[in-house]
Structure 1
Amino acid sequence: QLDYLIALGTHQPMEEEAIDRLVGVPAAKRAERYPNVQIFNHHWDQPSWLRHIGTIPRAEASQLTAGLLAEDVPIVLNRLIFDYNHLIICGPVFPHEVAGFSGGAKYLFPGIAGPEIINFTHWLGALVTSMHTIGVKDTPIRRVIHRAAEYVPRPLLSICLVLQGSALHGIYTGACVETFNAAADLSASLNIITKPHTFQRVLAAPAEIYDDLWTAAKAMYKTEPAVADGGEVIIYAPHLTEVSYTHGHLIDEVGYHVRDYFLKQPARFQDVPGTIKAHSTHVKGGGTYDAETNTETPRIHVTLATGIPEERCRRINLGYLDPRRINPREWEGREDEGLLYVPHAGEKLYRVPAEC
């Protein structure tokens, strides 16, 4: 018996048509050819699908996170794993805004995890900041993920894929930590682009596979390090009409803000899940907040040129630009002018040398 559990984290369950496209075989043919194979969606927010397998104690959590977060971390996973004798983790390794790199045990946490550890790791990533996490192999978040994986009561085999675009460059199989480390090294050499200088404006155009800002925001995360102070990232995605299909109502209430906006108002945001606050500050980027004057000063400006209405963009504290006014071709070949155009944004990480 070989079944598949889609590691969705907090993303929406995939509909049958989407699963058909993902695996390349329609459901009817799968049932005919592979009658003993099933494909499941993960349900992070349904307690009946989850099981508690242990807790990282407060003191150890503090040690793993270098003192950033000192609280018990309940480890909750999809209960389906207990129906099997062996677990195989399979997925790509790319620079990632929360964990440093995707891949390996990250497909357990948050991939098939419950809300507690998802919120913990995402808020931890926000405290470190995306700028100091993305493209870094050893992060506090990755340490928590690897420690949590040690609680899994089934043998684990990790298959880490390294791609550049759609081209496969490496497959690493074996134990979670060793395969991840090797795959992250290769991925860094393929998927991190170092530019000689920063840019005043970046036009980042994510692919249409990203169907809401929650996912398309990778266009911001992976270009932010190459933007000069006071510069601007324009997320150019006319096909986008939604902020988040899963969390949109919460984001409408909270908006997008720099990290210190939340840190200096803990009581106000104590009931907001860490995942929401983390997404908010990752999209807004670095900056400062003065609680006495209620003044928020982001390091850069983030502007949406999407199908999301201007009123909503302003309400959630992001800039707006009519996508009909943008011609991507006019941005090409102008790097010496401080303008960078990134098609397929979100696939590769752009940054500059530390001295820039």
Structure 2
Amino acid sequence: MSPSACKNLPLEITEAIILPLLPPKSLARFKSVSKTWNSLISSPHFIKTHLLQTHHTTQLIALSTTGSLYSIDITDTRPRLDSDDIPATAKELGIRSPLRWKEILGSCNGLLLAKDENNTMFVMNPMTQDLWKVPLCPFAPVYEEYEEVYVRYGFGYDSSTDDYKIVSMSFWNPYSYHDSKETFVCVYSLRNNSWRKLPDCNYYEHDYTVVDDVINGALINQSLHWLTRQFEIVGFNLANEEFKQMKFPVSVGFYRGLFTSMVDVGGKLGVFMRSEAGFECCVMEEYGVADSWTKVRIHGFEEEDRVWPVYLLQGRNREIVFQDTEGGVVVYNIDERRRRDVRIVGGPGGNANVFPGMFVESLESPKRVMIAS
């Protein structure tokens, strides 16, 4: 339906039925139709309604070696007749900080959390070009240049307060000479635009840290999750801001393997690992229930392959997206036991870093949350 046709309909029908079903890119263009539409589409109520009601397009987000962000659409994973690979179109998002982007830290509801080369954090919507600079955390540990501090992040939405939160966990290198065993856990509230330090937490056992030092938090069920070095998962509930530890049952064989990644597997907590049997995916079918873990054997990868999972394709419950060390993307179909390479067209080139999670296009804005406060 064209904008001119929509203009002739009653505003109530346009607002309640038609516009919420349209993709964000179309709505961004429709802002220029009239002042009324611009006000409507930009309103916090419409943005939130659109986010909750619309089926959003899911994409991969990649960070190039030149510090630019790209979106990669791999919703169509069918190979072409003349080729066994999967073509996917990549587009540069065009949103920039004063410096080049350095790292993607999280994704939620169309918002990205990223760092630039100056280690400044930003919350942004690359579709609408909204960009919000996050202030420095005043509670981070003070350390000398030669001292080593690990910092892990998590980013997610707390529906109980309609707020987006950043969780930072800072801790000293457990193998360094530093005597401190404190873990600094801080929470940033976008609604309040402020950091808070949580009460002291002891995340050290047997002289090494519980929180793994190689990944940021995976967001499932409005909780952030980190793998531990004690074969456990640490979960942080964004609503009550409390930690919970979950153990792996011995029956799924975690103790024989090496963790590779933890990601959202179709809204469920998934852990990927290499074991004596090869590459495996374990999924917690019912959140928080230890007996609900199931295990799937991943075929088609050689022992020397260096890949890690990114996401399970939404709407295709038996296909998993992987990235390799050279920036390539692979789609694996569990039912067919078959892998297909993704041929990225117009993309960021080799050695790009794909964020471990899917990005959804939306109208969500940091300003909406702050206005609501």
When normalised by structure 2's length, the TM-score is 0.24
When normalised by structure 1's length, the TM-score is 0.25
Q: Which protein has the larger Cα radius of gyration, Structure 1 or Structure 2?
A: 2
Determine which structure has the larger helix proportion and give its number.
1
Determine which structure has the larger strand proportion and give its number.
2
